[in-house]
Structure 1
Amino acid sequence: MTEHRTLNKRLPIPPLQDTLDRFLARIEPLQDERQNKRTRKIVNSPENIDLLTTLHQRLLEYDENLAKLKPESSFIEQFWYDSYLEYDASVVLNVNPFFQLQDDPTIGTEADIGSGPYGEHTLQIKRTSKLVISILKFIKQIRHKTLKPDKVRGGATLSMDQYEKLFGSSRIPPGPNEESCHLQTDETSHHVIILYKSQFYWFDVLDVNNEPIFETPEELEWNLYSIIMDVEKQKRHHDSIDEVPFGVFTTESRRVWSNIRDYIFHASDATNWKNLKLIDSALFVICLDDVAFNDDEEEELAKSMLCGTSKVQLDLKKSIVPLNIQSGTCLNRWYDKLQLIITKNAKAGFNFEHTGVDGHTVLRLATDIYTDSILSFARNITKNVPDIFASKKLCSPEDCKNFDLNHHHSLDVKYNANLITIPRKLEWKIDKFLLSSLHFAETRISDLISQYEFVTLDFEKYGATHIKSIFKCSPDAFTQQIFQVAYYALYGKFETTYEPAMTKIFQNGRTEAIRSVTPQSKKFVKFLFDRNATDEDRQKFLQESCKEHSKITRECSMGLGQDRHLYAMKCVWNEWYKDTLPLPPIYNDRSWSLLNTNVLSTSNCGNPCLKNFGFGPVTANGFGIGYVIRDNSISVVVSSRHRQTHRFVSLIEKSFLEMDHVYGRNPQPEENYLIGMRENPSQMAPTKSEDLRFLLSGYDYFDVSVSG
């Protein structure tokens, strides 16, 4: 694979003064004049410049040494890992994002549930098998170094280092006396973990040469069906006293999870520890959810993909053991790894541990496997693909109903001396400490999930094509302006907004922070609500705002931002100068905490293969906004801790529509911009736009003093 042999250019460290100038430019529109004057004085003070110069020089030396000792690295790499791995709170809703794939039109519809060779499980099993077969092909390309390199428009090759951490990786909690988690990657991993109703199974999917053992979906279907049947059989025989949701431990804070793992490590019986090591080293986790979501339950589906659902059954008479009062999909997860999640009606998506990979890397995986799984339908018609297992079926659907996975040794056909191709169940040894720990973990994740709400928007009036042809601007820049309009319409102010820019054009590049609030964006938003402004004004200021956003985006993509450089220098101070130099004043100024308090945390992962994409808010009073821009539509998933989320999303939709009105109508001079402008309501002319009236919640034009 070319990307493994030819390294990209190193991620640049910008000149210190350029970084400070950008910092001041990004913070200015978020402050009032008095605050900004104070910040400028602090940032440009001799003390601040001198201290930062020392840290900047040390960072340059650090990067120079890295280039010699570890050429595939970047100056931000270790600091960035630490920022994730030192995070102690639960990764659920705080770290892991989700991607939801579009439905597969080749495997039937929800109306088909109950039909097919696997009864009510047919759609789920067929979708899962197709996706897993495609994933195995993807893994093979990575390990055989034949994965085609990512490229940007213009042909520049992107750094491919993150793909090595996509599979076989796990976030390991701190050991005793350790400060941070570890990102562990097993490059020899050949097996997957399957979760169904909180029960764990595993089997090998790659041989010793990293060739897929299962080459067609049909070969894999028997394994998945046998797992489901095995769990259902145990349920019928009331064996659930031993069926505890061990995956719920991964929803705990890192410190609690660390203590539990340490307890398991020192237990006299090594069974649980061996199970953990098997899960840690697995390629990825397949979560088969025993729940279906209808098309009108998109928000509940987004919640299930991101954090799992939490349903509490308080009728104890229906419970076999106390743990069973909790029955949400949050119990059918392992959040420390890449997870493929498939619902009972074949809705599919990924939930991924974010430390080693960014959204662009997982998006490539999602795009490739979705395309391959769809094309496999046509491939089955036009090609006669050799089936190495054609004469070695594991079992028929009827046989699987009576198949006991705990006593299957006679059926355990090994196609390679050390490969296990029949599913094996992980049995857990539970004592009072683990049982009570599971109970408390389950109640805490239920509490956490209940604190958040999710709202989805599928805007189908227009998409990227319309934005480029009619509005004449970048679709991403335009969408960012819409978020500003909606937030201002709701709260009358501007807040710190974050959007990641990919820096993978450089070796081991991760992201840089695009700051969407600019003087130009503020001017555009204010003029949109100015009753004296014309649509020509609004169009002009939209163009200027989008142009500025695109300029900042290009700079950030070239590694010429401000956030990562300033963060790296603070890490340098903490690592080498904490006891000898005072902290530069910029880091104690309110402007630093302001820029790092991302009330609007946004991210664009646009590809037609995605139905939705989302993540949790990064501040207690913030919104998490994941969006997908297609040619003719835009999908948005917004999360918050019960702010005005539904109202905010409705304002996003109306803001999209309002911009179409700004470009599409011919206003008459006598028209009022909003209802209520004339002294005599009976003489009132028609409004220019019902959408703008909606944006102000039916109120008259208002003018607030904006200080941020």
Structure 2
Amino acid sequence: MTDKKIHPTAVTAALTPDTASKPLNERLPIPPLEDTLQRFLARIEPLQDEKQNRKTKKIVNSVENIDLLKTLHEKLLQYDTNLANLKPESSFIEQFWYDSYLEYDASVVLNVNPFFQLQDDPTITKEEILENGPYGCHTLQIKRTSKLVISILKFIKQIRHNTLKPDLVRGGKSLSMDQYDKLFGSSRIPPGPGEQTCHLQTDTTSHHVIIMYKSQFYWFDVLDVNNEPIFETSDELEWNLYSIIMDVEKHKHHDEEENLLPFGVFTTESRRVWSNIRDYIFHANDSTNWKNLKIIDSALFVICLDDVIFGAEDNDELAKSMLCGTSKIELDQQKSTVPLNIQSGTCLNRWYDKLQLIVTKNGKAGFNFEHTGIDGHTVLRLATDIYTDSILSFAREITKDVPDIFEAQMGSNNNKHHHHNQKQFGVETKTPNKANLITIPRTLEWKIDKFLLSSLHFAETRISDLISQYEFVTLDFEKFGSFHIKSVFKCSPDAFVQQIFQIAYYALYGKFETTYEPAMTKLFQNGRTEAIRSVTPFSKRFVKSLFDKNATDEQRKQFLQESCKEHSKITRECSMGLGQDRHLYALYCVWNEWYKDTLPLPPIFKDRSWTLLNTNVLSTSNCGNPCLKNFGFGPVTANGFGIGYVIRDNSISIVVSSRHRQTKRFASLMEKSFLEIDHIFSKDYKTDQDNYLMGMHNKNDGNLTHNKSEDLKYLLSGYDYFDVSVSG
């Protein structure tokens, strides 16, 4: 477990007028200690054998363990009471959670940052644009990017004007909106000299964006000082983006290699290495590079224009590019149009310490985001709103009666905005009342020496190594979605998909492993997430029934619905802050900060059960919305899988990642598990003629409830029913 450091300044910061004026949600509750321990035992039981479980129960319920935890629990309650007085918009988990991210030293690539891929824009006719576009082969990319950026600027304006409509859940309850203040203008800053942790820096006065193309950096203002968008239509942005692309191509053509080095690759390094490089830049005699870093750090977000095209058959590679970038090194002199042994993958065209909008040459778009201050639900709201708005913008060109999801605001555009003076080029936008703003793209030019050159080289080889250790598989299941799951299977769609993961893993490995799914706790101020533990006695009974030749389909249906019901119950508890993981983690942090030298570590944290529950072999997350094509992240353990999934009305998309652990086979077993469950239910709503699954009759038993589909044969790798004797 990582050592935690709680920074007193972080919990005693004075309220700003903006935060003081915002209505606050209820505070995240700290559950009773006894309840948390009982939940812990309930979640760990299905993952242990009987002997291990008896030992864990004895340790957790021991007088020593409970007495020590009571001391920590009382301190946590006191800490939260002080927080409530000093910083009402906080929660007891806030600083502990920040520290868990900010003290992480390994690369954020594949280990921390997730990605969202947006659906394609149906209003952009690709064939016409590719053939007749005003920006040649870059037209589709430029038009898609411009539309999305215009919508993002409207979103930022809403945040900064405090007019963003609140997130609501069923029943009309509003969610905490605190994370939106950290969405834009934020950056993960490596530790300075003598510091132990990174920092999450947020510039609330930021008004510019960074644009990257072929690893080169440009910037210009997009908001005035009143946070009004400077560019009101996408057409105004297009020439800026095109001029950036043309400027890079001009430099490439003239082989001006000294200014074409990929400084973004430094953000793929471990925090300690990146910290040393920044410290070297800070102490350099020439301040150019340091000023460049400050411009990037303070930008609203980064726009990554990738010079690549992904076709319909390249979904796996596209997911990789969105998550960690691709690594492409040409070693064959016969095929190469660039110098041999040179990295040309998209991993160089990134700045992983910030929110990134990534758009490919053929208009595929998505986000990669730094995770410290924001969770998936917050970025999902951004993705949903801007995708909807960018689509509606097409309708507004036809009729003015189309509603705008962003409320119009009036503001002044006549204020000055200053930045460092870099090289200027491009086409001046026609905004005479904004003449004092930097609306023409400016390039960031870097000063290079031998230390930085060697650092860039080794950073690139290390990220290439890292990328090569992982594989990604996308599954687009289109037979059914949430409508079918609710109407036919009578289950919660999310709970149902969680059962599918358990079936597929059991079919492949014959055992159950710790499975994590985050539950949003934004009903409470700064609530972040709680851990849903998907493996339960109910889910084990259901999964094993599929592989039990004596089980009937009626039993399997019943077991499925009971397992889903249990999963939904746990999810509701977690959403109300009544889980076990965050409370126990906070207690560990309290011990580590205030009692490490005076109290023994409570035995629960030394027991194997604590390690087991925190070794998430299946790390899963559901970010369902029709605007998303895919969503994913890396595995959180060396032997694990990362599973991001999107549940739509009539389809389900899943991205699976692992360190080459039969990822493709695992994903295919998920698909067959979907079909097998449908086969079990099919006789209730289909005739044999309508059934797209051809049943395979069990010759040893005339009972129709024992029909096996070809998919069960597939799940069993061609074998018949078999019994598996494993722990848990």
TM over 0.5: yes
Matched, 1:702 2:722: yes
Letter of the 1:440 counterpart? F
2:585 to 554, 561, 567: 567
Out of 85, 91, 97, the position equivalent to 1:68 is: 85
| Residue 84 in structure 1 maps to residue 101 in structure 2 | yes
Residue number in structure 2 paired with 1:216: 233
Task: Find out whether 1:243 has 2:260 as its counterpart.
Answer: yes
1:4 to 1:514, Cα distance in 2 relative to 1, 3 A: farther
Assess, with a 3 A threshold, how the Cα gap between structure 1 residues 102 and 450 changes in structure 2: closer, same or farther: same
SS across alignment from 1:661: helix
| Alignment partners' CA distance in 2, 1:537 and 1:653 | 22
Structure 1 residue 238 displacement after superposition: 1.4
C-alpha distance in 1 between matches for 2:511 and 2:540: 9
Q: What CA deviation, in whole Å up to 9, does each residue of 1:102-157 have, x standing for no partner? A: 00011112574242110100000000000000000000000000000000011100
Structure 2 match to 1:610: 628
Q: CA deviation at 1:380?
A: 1.4
**Count of residue pairs brought into register by the alignment:** 683
1:179-235 CA distances to partner (integer Å, 9 max, x unpaired)? 110000000000000000000000000001000000000000010000001111111
- Taking only aligned residues, the RMSD between alpha carbons, in angstroms, comes to 2.4
Kindly provide the amino acid, as one letter, of the partner of residue 134 in structure 1: S
1:425 aligns with one of 431, 443, 450:
443
Provide the C-alpha distance between the structure 2 equivalents of 1:619 and 1:432, rounded to a whole number of angstroms: 36
Deviations 1:16-45 (A, max 9, x none): 000000000000000000000000000000
Measured at CA, do residues 636 and 151 of structure 1 come closer, stay the same or move farther in structure 2, by a change above 3 Å?
same
Q: Give the counterpart of 2:386 among 347, 354, 369.
A: 369
* Match 1:454 to one of 472, 497, 501: 472
1:38 to 55, 63, 67: 55
CA contact 1:614–1:626 (8 Å) conserved in 2: yes
The 8 Å contact of residues 503 and 511 in structure 1, kept in 2 or not, is answered as: yes
Corresponding position of 1:578: 596
Task: Give deviations 1:323-377, integer Å, cap 9, x for gaps.
Answer: x710000000000000000000000000000000000000000000000000000
CA distance 1:561–1:384, shift in 2 (3 Å): closer
Contact conserved, 1:4 with 1:160, CA < 8 A, in 2? no
Structure 1 position 98 matched with structure 2 position 112: no
Counterpart of 1:438 in structure 2 is 456
Instruction: Give the letter aligned to residue 482 of structure 2.
Output: A
Aligned-partner residue type, residue 357 of structure 2 = L
Alpha-carbon distance between aligned partners in 1 of 2:58 and 2:301, rounded to the nearest angstrom:
51
Question: What is the distance in 1 between the residues matched to 2:246 and 2:322?
Answer: 24
Structure 2 residue matching 1:326: 3-state secondary structure: coil
Q: 1:337 aligns with which of 334, 347, 354?
A: 354
Counterpart amino acid of residue 594 in structure 1: L
Whether 1:468 aligns to 2:486 is yes
Give the counterpart letter for 2:144 in structure 1: R
8 Å contact kept, 1:241–1:321: no
Q: Do the aligned partners of 2:243 and 2:427 also contact (CA within 8 Å) in 1?
A: no
CA deviation after TM superposition for structure 1 residue 701, in Å: 1.1
Secondary structure of the 2:175 match is coil
Among candidates 179, 188, 207, match of residue 224 of structure 2: 207
1:429 Cα deviation after fit: 0.3
Contact 1:3/1:159 (8 A) holds in 2? no
Establish whether residue 496 from structure 1 lines up as the match of residue 514 from structure 2. yes
Mark the CA change 1:208 to 1:384 in structure 2 (over 3 Å): closer, same or farther.
Answer: farther
Correspondence for 1:107 among 109, 121, 124 = 124
CA deviation digits over 1:364-403, x for unaligned, max 9? 00000000000000111213999x9xxxxxxxxxxxxxxx
Q: Distance in 1 between matches of 2:512 and 2:68?
A: 32
1:510 to 528, 534, 555: 528
Structure 1, residues 47-72: CA drift from partner, whole Å, max 9, x if none?
00000000000000000000000000
Could you say what secondary structure the match of 1:608 adopts? coil
- 2:326 paired residue number: 309
The answer on whether the counterparts of 1:414 and 1:420 sit within 8 Å (CA) in structure 2 is no
Q: What one-letter code is carried by the residue in structure 2 that aligns with 1:306?
A: L
Q: Which amino acid aligns with 2:108?
A: V
**2:197 paired residue number:** 180
Query: Matches of 1:470 and 1:321 in 2, distance apart?
Result: 58
State the alpha-carbon separation in 2 of the partners of residues 64 and 380 from structure 1: 54
- TM-score normalised by length of structure 1: 0.93
CA shift in 2, pair 1:256/1:539, >3 Å: same
Q: What residue in structure 1 maps to residue 418 of structure 2?
A: none
Q: Equivalences for 1:320-359 in 2 at 5 Å?
A: 325-359=342-376
CA distance in 2, matches of 1:478, 1:548: 11
User: CA–CA distance in 1 between the matches of 2:705 and 2:268?
Assistant: 57
1:495-537 deviations in Å (ceiling 9; x for gaps):
0000000000000010000000000000000111111111100
Contact map agreement 2:616 2:636 (CA 8 A) in 1: yes
Q: Does 1:157 pair with 2:181? A: no
Q: What letter corresponds to residue 280 of structure 1 in structure 2?
A: D
Relative distance call for 1:260 and 1:577 in structure 2 (3 A) is: same
Contact kept? 1:457, 1:636, Cα under 8 Å = yes
Structure 1 position 86, deviation (Å): 0.2
- State the 1:410 CA deviation: 10
The verdict on how the C-alpha distance between 1:677 and 1:522 changes in structure 2, with shifts beyond 3 A counting, is: farther
Q: Give how far 1:406 is off.
A: 3.6
Per-residue CA deviation, residues 412-434 of structure 1 (Å, 9 max, x unaligned), is 98744642000000000010000
| Contact 1:251–1:335 (8 Å) recurs in 2 | yes
Q: Show structure 1 runs of 4+ deviating over 6 A.
A: 319-322, 672-677
Q: Distance in 1 between matches of 2:139 and 2:232?
A: 19
Q: Residue type of the partner of 2:242?
A: Y
Cα distance in 1, alignment partners of residues 474 and 338 from structure 2: 36
Matching residue within 141, 152, 163 for 2:158: 141
Which residue of structure 1 lines up, in the alignment, with residue 419 of structure 2? none
Give me the whole-angstrom Cα distance separating, in 2, the residues matched to 1:74 and 1:144.
24
| Map of 2:291 onto structure 1 | 274
Instruction: Report the residue type matching 1:447 in the other structure.
Output: D
- CA distance in structure 2 between the partners assigned to 1:556 and 1:16 by the alignment: 15
Please report how far the alpha carbon of residue 706 of structure 1 lies from its aligned counterpart in structure 2 after TM superposition.
2.6
Deviation at 1:443, TM superposition (A): 0.3
The aligned counterpart of 2:659 is 641
Cα separation, partners in 2 of 1:675 and 1:173, compared to 1, 3 Å: farther
Give distance in 2, aligned partners of 1:189 and 1:563.
36
Give the secondary structure class of the aligned counterpart of 1:52: helix
Cα offset for 1:705?
Answer: 1.0
Determine the C-alpha separation between the residues in 1 that align with 2:644 and 2:528.
18
- Shift in Å, 1:321: 7.0
Q: 1:251 to 1:316 in 2, by over 3 A?
A: farther
Mapped to 1, the partners of 2:641 and 2:626 lie a distance apart of: 24
Name the CA distance, whole Å, in 2 between partners of 1:580 and 1:319: 65
Equivalent residue for 1:661, pick from 679, 694, 703: 679
CA distance in 2, matches of 1:525, 1:685: 17
Query: What letter corresponds to residue 70 of structure 2 in structure 1?
Result: T
Match status 1:195 vs 2:212? yes
Contact 1:110 1:345 in 2 (8 A): no
The whole-number CA distance in structure 2 between the counterparts of 1:349 and 1:491 is 34
CA distance in 2, matches of 1:490, 1:497: 16
User: Aligned partners of 1:321, 1:191: CA distance in 2, in Å?
Assistant: 35
Structure 1: distance between partners of 2:426 and 2:504: 61
Q: Percent same amino acid among aligned pairs?
A: 81
| Aligned mates of 2:698, 2:25 — CA distance in 1 | 60
For 1:695, give the aligned amino acid: L
1:525 match: 543
- Match in the other structure for 2:311: 294
SS at match of 1:113: helix
In 1, the alpha carbon distance for the partners of 2:486 and 2:172 equals: 22
1:534 aligns with 2:552: yes
**Deviations for 1:655-685, whole angstroms, at most 9, x for unmatched residues?**
00001111113899xxx99789759xxxx99
| Residue 645 of structure 2, aligned match among 624, 627, 639 | 627
Matched position secondary structure for 2:81: helix
In the alignment, which residue of structure 2 is the partner of 1:399?
A: none
